[in-house]
Amino acid sequence: MTANVGRTIVVRWGDASPIPVVAGIREKSITLAGEAVDITNDDSAGWRQLLDAAQVNSVEISASGVLIDDTLRTAWFAGADGSGERMAPAEFEYSDGGIVSGTFYLQEYSETGNHDGEITFEATWMSNGVVAYTPAP
* Confidence label for 1 from pLDDT (cuts 50, 70 and 90): low
Query: If 0-12 CB within 10 Å is exposed, 13-18 middle and 19+ buried, where does residue 125 land?
Result: buried
11 to each of 7, 64, 118, 129, 137, how far by Cα in Å?
11, 11, 21, 18, 19
Contact between 29 and 100 under an 8 Å Cβ cutoff? The reply is no
Parallel/antiparallel/unpaired status of strands 119-134 and 99-113 = antiparallel
CA-wise closest residue to 76 among 123, 120, 32, 40: 123
**Angstrom distance (rounded) from CA 137 to CA 132:** 15
Return mean pLDDT, the chain.
91
Count Cβ atoms below 10 Å from residue 13 Cβ, excluding itself: 23
pLDDT at 104: 96
Q: What is the pLDDT of residues 58-110, one digit of tens each?
A: 999 999 999 999 989 988 998 888 777 899 999 999 989 999 999 999 999 99
Contact between 11 and 90 under an 8 Å Cβ cutoff? The reply is yes
pLDDT at 82: 73
Q: What is the pLDDT of residues 20-70, one digit of tens each?
A: 999 999 999 999 999 999 999 999 999 999 999 888 999 999 999 999 999
CA-wise closest residue to 59 among 87, 99, 101, 96: 101
- Give the CA count within 13 Å in the CB-facing half-sphere of 30: 20
Count Cβ atoms below 10 Å from residue 101 Cβ, excluding itself: 18
Domains and CATH numbers, the chain: 6-134 (2.30.110)
